[in-house]
Amino acid sequence: MSEEVRIGKRFSIVIPKRVRKLLELREGQAAMVSAEDGRILVEPLPDDPYGVLEDVLGDFSYSEERYEKTAEEWLRRVARSRHRSAVRS
């Protein structure tokens, strides 16, 4: 969808209502503006970028209980290998 707009004072552009509704834009929402191949691109940014990451990557929250056993095993391996290296030297 394309609509013609005019560049106003202070180089402001009003996004047409049809486009605002289609993209569910809200007043005060952050957007990224860039220039590419002679065009101006305006991309709405998500309100919660961490929520978007979670949607893409799945649950990446940290839980000490969840990782405690793995961390202890890693620490034992590292400590054991360093201890062996120190004894050989």
Domain boundaries defined on the chain: 9-44, 49-88
Please tell me the pTM assigned to this model: 0.54
Q: pLDDT tens digits for 29-60? A: 999 999 999 999 999 998 888 888 888 888 76
Average pLDDT rounded to a whole number, residues 56-79: 81
CB-based contacts of 5: which residues, under 8 Å, 6+ apart?
13, 14, 15, 16
Contact criterion met (CB below 8 Å) for 61 and 47: no
Residue 71 to residue 74: CA distance in whole angstroms: 5
Cα angle for residues 26, 29, 30 (degrees, 5° grid): 155
Q: Span 9-44: which CATH code?
A: 2.10.260
> Which amino acid would we find at residue 47?
D
In this structure, the chain runs to a length of 89
